């Protein structure tokens, strides 16, 4: 923590020195320039204060967990368990408060973790879930300044109309609705000023935080996981790459599958910190599903069928992205998923994407085929080819994970309908997997699998919440057949 704070202070000191030089050069010039220097100095001071505060909060959290591990050796198991529950509650609250107050990578990582009930205690999930809607909007003056600086023209020349109230505010940027001069409705995503430096500093602090806890955590490939999270959060700062990924998946669905809709980027109105796409009308997917869920559970067959159709379409869209397109949106939280008035599924925000090369896709398809045929020897071989490694070198833990994740698909092949497991069943499986991990930890993971697992774990939260009756023959089988045929040609 001290190393990270000193690095931050050093960076800020050099920035202050540059500002001082600039101030001396422009001394005596216009009042407006003097105010600009004053504003930049104030901003640097605020960043130093923010880095110090967040670093100390993380250090306090890490110290609390390390001290608990030490103290547990001298107290009863029951007392230690109660103390750990209180510590989880206190630290979850601290992390939420610092994330909500300062944003940046803390908020983004908190949002990602809020969907991972499989790896975090319930009290952490409850606190982090509040971060989904916690990002404060930036002022319209700041939005205008970023757009005009990035695109090099006045806002009125770029857009016929521009709604000053944001449609959504996130940790990296916020989205406004606008209209182009040819009458096209568009969504304009604008990056928060100074967010690049802030995110990178936050990620250094978070990396040190996890490293400090590693001795207290179960064995695992934390370097790969941390590296992958770091890369994906930084990727969200690259708007040109996001535009390219959005276009690639949009064209894929238009040309080869009408499963889902993806907005189309408008290059003339996009830059390094501004991304403009066609506007996609629709409601947040959980709002639509919540409205259907009550009637569906009360016996309304049409409502249940619509819930199942929407979630089946969503699953199919992600299977097609992963197994056919090789490029997939990797942050499918409900805010990035819409349902149009016509019932189409819309996927937004390709700032975080995963990619899967044809050879890797062929291996995952082969692994799935071996699982469906219950060919354990073939599965063990493919696990090694993909890069999975256990501490013992055996593959029993990996087979247990495959059974937990894919059993419903194997059962659905015979039954025709794919039913998601209940929360109780998921809990039982999780306890079993924890036992397997404790006996033989997974110490090596392929990087692309982390993204895939994150995507389907997040989607799994929706399935377990609404319990759809998924039509295997309609939404899953055609994708798998196409993937197998494609893999045979690799």
pLDDT, tens digit (0-9, with 9 covering 90-100), for 171-209: 788 999 999 999 999 999 999 888 887 777 777 777 777
Residue 225 belongs to a domain: no
**10 Å Cβ neighbour count for 217?**
10
- Give me the catalytic one of 221, 331, 349, 471: 331
Token pair 């992390």: residue: 95
**10 Å Cβ neighbour count for 2?**
9
Q: What distances in angstroms separate CA 113 from CA 163, 172, 200, 351, one per listed residue? A: 32, 16, 18, 17
The pLDDT assigned to 427 comes to 66
Shared-domain flag, residues 180 and 321? no
CB 417 within 8 A of CB 375: no
pLDDT in tens, 140-177: 999 999 999 999 999 999 999 999 999 988 778 899 99
Where does a domain end: 278, 299, 328? 278
Residue 231 belongs to a domain: no
pLDDT in tens, 43-102: 555 556 666 777 777 778 888 887 887 788 788 888 888 888 898 889 888 888 877 777
User: Measured over all CA atoms, what is the biggest interatomic distance in the chain, rounded to whole angstroms?
Assistant: 82
Q: What is the CA radius of gyration of the chain?
A: 24
- Convert 340-369 to b/e letters by CB count within 10 Å (16 or more is b): eeeebbbbbbbbbbbebeeebbbbbbbbbb
The pLDDT assigned to 442 comes to 83
Residue 232 belongs to a domain: no
Residue 213 belongs to a domain: yes
Shared-domain flag, residues 213 and 242? no
Shared-domain flag, residues 255 and 301? no
Tokens coding 332: 């499918």
The pLDDT assigned to 31 comes to 47
CA 257 to chain centre: 24
- For the purposes of burial, counting CB atoms within 10 Å of the CB of 154, is it exposed (0-12), middle (13-18) or buried (19 or more)? exposed
pLDDT in tens, 370-389: 888 889 999 999 999 988 88
pLDDT band at 321 (very low <50, low <70, confident <90, very high): very high
Domain that holds residue 106: 2-133+197-217
CB 242 within 8 A of CB 319: no
The pLDDT assigned to 45 comes to 53
Domain count of the chain? 3
Question: What is the average pLDDT score of the chain?
Answer: 81
The pLDDT assigned to 215 comes to 65
Domain of residue 172, CATH code: 3.30.200.20
Residue 149 designated active-site: no
Query: What is the four-CA torsion angle of 296, 297, 298, 302, rounded to 10 degrees?
Result: 20
Shared-domain flag, residues 274 and 334? no
The pLDDT assigned to 416 comes to 65
Shared-domain flag, residues 210 and 301? no
Shared-domain flag, residues 267 and 292? no
Shared-domain flag, residues 128 and 189? no
Long-range contacts (CB closer than 8 Å, 24 or more residues apart) made by 326-329: 326/355, 326/356, 326/357, 326/358, 326/361, 327/245, 327/248, 327/249, 327/252, 327/353, 327/354, 327/355, 327/356, 328/249, 328/353, 328/354, 328/355, 328/356, 328/451, 328/455, 329/249, 329/353, 329/455
pLDDT of 7 over the 60 cut = no
pLDDT of 28 over the 80 cut = no
Strand 260-261 with 345-347, pairing? parallel
CB 483 within 8 A of CB 361: yes
Shared-domain flag, residues 338 and 472? yes
Residue positions counted in the chain: 490
Mean pLDDT (whole number) for 479-486: 79
CB 118 within 8 A of CB 457: yes
Residue 474 belongs to a domain: yes
Shared-domain flag, residues 175 and 317? no
Residue 223 belongs to a domain: no
**Residue 471: which of 415, 426, 422 has the closest Cα?**
415
Q: What is the DSSP string of 116-141?
A: -TTTS-HHHHHHHHGGGG-PPPPPHH
Residue 224 belongs to a domain: no
Shared-domain flag, residues 325 and 449? yes
Mean pLDDT (whole number) for 265-272: 96
**Residue 51: which of 202, 167, 239 has the closest Cα?**
202
Where does a domain end: 228, 261, 278? 278
pLDDT of 298 over the 90 cut = yes
pLDDT of 391 over the 80 cut = yes
This prediction has a pTM of 0.73
pLDDT in tens, 211-240: 766 666 666 666 766 777 777 778 888 999
pLDDT in tens, 413-463: 666 666 666 666 666 776 777 677 778 888 888 878 878 887 887 888 788
Residue 108 belongs to a domain: yes
* Most confidently predicted of 241-250, 251-260, 432-441: 241-250
Shared-domain flag, residues 268 and 163? yes
Does 297 or 483 have the greater pLDDT score? Answer: 297
Percent of the chain with pLDDT over 90: 30
Does 416 or 20 have the greater pLDDT score? Answer: 416
Shared-domain flag, residues 480 and 340? yes
């Amino acid at each position: 923590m001290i190393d990270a704070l000193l690095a931050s202070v050093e960076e800020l000191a050099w920035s202050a020195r540059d500002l001082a030089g600039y101030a001396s050069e422009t001394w005596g010039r216009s009042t407006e320039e003097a105010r600009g220097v004053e504003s930049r100095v104030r901003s640097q001071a605020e960043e130093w204060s923010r880095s110090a505060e967040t670093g100390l909060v993380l250090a306090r959290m890490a110290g609390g967990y390390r001290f608990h591990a030490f103290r547990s050796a001298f107290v009863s198991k029951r007392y230690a368990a109660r103390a750990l529950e209180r510590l989880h509650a206190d630290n979850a609250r601290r992390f939420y408060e610092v994330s909500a107050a300062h944003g940046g990578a803390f908020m983004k990582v908190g949002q990602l973790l809020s969907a991972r009930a499989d790896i975090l205690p319930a009290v952490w999930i409850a606190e982090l879930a509040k971060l989904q809607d916690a990002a404060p909007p930036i002022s319209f003056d700041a939005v205008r300044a970023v757009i005009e600086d990035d695109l090099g023209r006045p806002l009125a020349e770029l857009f016929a109309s521009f709604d000053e109230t944001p449609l959504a505010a996130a940790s990296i940027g916020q989205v406004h609705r606008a209209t182009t001069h040819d009458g096209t409705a568009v969504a304009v995503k604008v990056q928060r000023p100074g967010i690049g430096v802030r995110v990178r500093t936050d990620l250094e602090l978070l990396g040190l935080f996890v490293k400090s806890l590693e001795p207290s955590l179960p064995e695992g490939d934390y370097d790969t996981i941390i590296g992958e999270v770091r890369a994906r959060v930084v990727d969200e700062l690259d708007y040109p790459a996001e535009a390219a990924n959005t276009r690639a998946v949009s064209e894929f669905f238009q040309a080869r599958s009408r499963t889902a809709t993806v907005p189309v980027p408008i290059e003339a109105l996009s830059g390094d910190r501004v991304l403009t796409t066609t506007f996609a009308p629709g409601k947040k997917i959980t709002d639509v599903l919540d409205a259907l869920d009550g009637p569906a559970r009360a016996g309304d067959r049409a409502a249940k069928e619509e819930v199942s159709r929407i979630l089946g379409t969503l699953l199919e869209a992600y299977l097609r992205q992963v197994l056919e397109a090789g490029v997939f949106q990797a942050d499918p939280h409900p805010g990035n998923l819409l349902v149009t008035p016509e019932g189409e599924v819309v996927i937004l925000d390709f700032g975080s994407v995963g990619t899967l090369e044809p050879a890797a896709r062929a291996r995952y398809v082969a692994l799935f085929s071996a699982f469906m045929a219950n060919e354990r020897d073939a599965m063990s071989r493919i696990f090694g080819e993909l890069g999975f490694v256990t501490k013992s070198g055996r593959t029993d833990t990996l087979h247990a994970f495959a059974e937990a994740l894919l059993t419903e698909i194997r059962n659905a092949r015979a039954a025709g309908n794919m039913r998601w497991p209940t929360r109780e069943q998921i809990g039982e499986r999780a306890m079993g997997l924890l036992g397997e991990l404790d006996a033989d930890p997974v110490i090596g993971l392929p990087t692309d699998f982390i993204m895939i697992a994150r995507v389907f774990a997040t989607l799994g939260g929706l399935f377990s919440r609404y319990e759809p009756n998924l039509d295997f023959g309609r939404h899953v089988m055609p994708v798998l057949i196409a993937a197998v045929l494609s893999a045979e040609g690799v």
